[in-house]
Amino acid sequence: MAEKSFKFVILGGGVAAGYAAREFGKQGVQPGELAIISKEAVAPYERPALSKGYLFPEGAARLPGFHVCVGSGGERLLPEWYKEKGIELILSTEIVKADLPAKTLVSAAGEIFKYQTLIIATGSTVIRLTDFGVQGADAKNIFYLREIDDADKLVEAIKAKKNGKAVIVGGGYIGLELGAAMKINNFDVSMVYPEPWCMPRLFTSSIAAFYEGYYANKGIKIIKGTVAVGFTSDSNGEVKEVKLKDGRVLEADIVVVGVGGRPLSTLFKGQVEEEKGGIKTDAFFKTSVPNVYAVGDVATFPLKLYNELRRVEHVDHARKSAEQAVKAIKASEEGKSVDEYDYLPYFYSRSFDLAWQFYGDNVGDTVLFGDNNPQSPKPKFGSYWIKDGKVVGAFLEGGTAEENQAIAKVAKLQPSVENLDALTNEGLSFACKI
């Protein structure tokens, strides 16, 4: 097969790839120097839209509307933009072999790609119930959501099974956002997850109680403390029932599974240093292999604020780590340096009329403030996390842009607090005065 050579190759076509391409464009890249190799069929897009606007029954988001970098208020990079910059988009191409010492990638079709500098931006893949051998988990109309193809199949099923029954397996990000999306599409929705409350990796039981109450008020049935152990299907092979470990059986026309993801780093196993489930990098996203960088979900990097190595699965970090890596690559070419990556962890979600943001670290003691009654017409509440007498994390539901900036500032500056009761009483005003 033909061999192609590039100065820079970005492997992966998600959010990180798009933001890296934009940064290359800003820093200056010659036509023909840069290629993006992606197994998806479309140019990089803002992935969070798939679990939100893409599934709306009316006024749904569609490409080219949410190509990067609109999610952060930037310009929209259409396929023409890459052409104009001389950046080669190599789409629908799956890389099956990476030889880092030889600086070579090989596709499923046998194409060979050579590079001088590689940015690994492969992201994550979803964990599937078939991975655990769950009985009947290969039935039709059991969906996972990661790529635009997944979302398109789900949209078709929503139309075909109009006003049907949906079961959401998982109580994390995808579970909560898809539970809301299916309800908005007028489905009868049940959510099933094994934990004692939703979003347990981030939410306290008090925060979770609000969202579970809000969803229940919307008519969503929440079933906690059990898991799906099997599925039955009809004569067409379409799912019709979800069997739970506690013996219950739920009717289902559509099942959406959101039980987590895993970083896509298998291609590089044994060739690069790994840590905490990801590819270990420095503060410039350089790996242990010269001229190989890793960004986004796959990177385990030094989180300066907490002086520890972490892997972060979130769109905000995907964008910022990609930009940092490109700045570092271009600076090293010019014999210059860039500042170390200094990231403040940030997570957010939107569903129904709700929108929350979280900044910092969710460790230590917590206080809850504000109106967290799920039946309030406009609920607004939050939490602070306090460790060693300092506020290290902050969460806010229903905040304005200014209020969200205020809680971000608190998480970054880590002000001291002596009295937790006083902090509870001050609530949001504590952040706003800092």
Rounded to whole angstroms, the Cα distance separating 427 from 429 reads 6
pLDDT tens-digit readout, 84-140: 999 999 999 999 999 999 999 999 999 999 999 999 999 999 999 999 999 999 999
pLDDT recorded at residue 45: 98
pLDDT tens-digit readout, 226-242: 999 999 999 999 999 99
Nearest to 22 by CA among 279, 320, 261: 320
Nearest to 51 by CA among 128, 188, 143, 164: 143
Per-residue H/E/C for 170-191: CCCHHHHHHHHHHHHCCCEEEE
Q: Most distant CA pair in the chain: distance in Å?
A: 70
Residue 312 has, within 13 A of its CA and on its CB side, a CA count of 26
pLDDT tens-digit readout, 322-358: 999 999 999 999 999 999 999 999 999 999 999 999 9
Q: Please give the DSSP secondary-structure letter assigned to residue 268.
A: G
Residues 6+ apart with CB under 8 A from 323: 19, 20, 22, 23
Q: Is 4 helix (H, G, I), strand (E, B) or coil?
A: strand
Across residues 271-277, what is the average pLDDT?
A: 98
Rounded to whole angstroms, the Cα distance separating 314 from 346 reads 8
Mean pLDDT of the residues in the chain: 97
User: Measured between alpha carbons, how far apart are the two ends of the chain, in Å?
Assistant: 61
pLDDT recorded at residue 162: 97
pLDDT recorded at residue 2: 77
pLDDT recorded at residue 217: 98
202: pLDDT strictly greater than 70: yes
Nearest to 14 by CA among 317, 355, 346: 317
Tokens of 182: 């299916």
Rounded to whole angstroms, the Cα distance separating 356 from 211 reads 11
Q: How confident is the model at residue 1 (pLDDT cuts 50, 70, 90)?
A: low
Nearest to 127 by CA among 140, 145, 151: 145
Bridge partners of 365? 386
Nearest to 395 by CA among 431, 425, 351: 431
* 262-292 CB burial, b ≥16 within 10 A, e <16: bbbbebbeebbebeeebbbbebbbbbebebb
Question: Is 407 within 8 Å of 385 (Cβ atoms)?
Answer: no
pLDDT tens-digit readout, 346-394: 999 999 999 999 999 999 999 999 999 999 999 999 999 999 999 999 9
Q: Name the pTM for this structure.
A: 0.97
* 314-330 CB burial, b ≥16 within 10 A, e <16: bbbbbbbbbbbbbbbbb
pLDDT recorded at residue 233: 98
Residues 6+ apart with CB under 8 A from 321: 16, 285, 295, 296, 299, 301, 341, 343
424: pLDDT strictly greater than 80: yes
Omega before 379 cis (within 30°)? no
Question: Is 47 within 8 Å of 15 (Cβ atoms)?
Answer: yes
Please report the DSSP string for 380-396 in residue order: EEEEEEEETTEEEEEEE
Q: How confident is the model at residue 261 (pLDDT cuts 50, 70, 90)?
A: very high
Nearest to 127 by CA among 175, 80, 159: 175
Question: Domains along the chain?
Answer: 3-125+262-333 (3.50.50.60), 129-259 (3.50.50.60), 353-432 (3.30.390.30)
pLDDT recorded at residue 11: 99
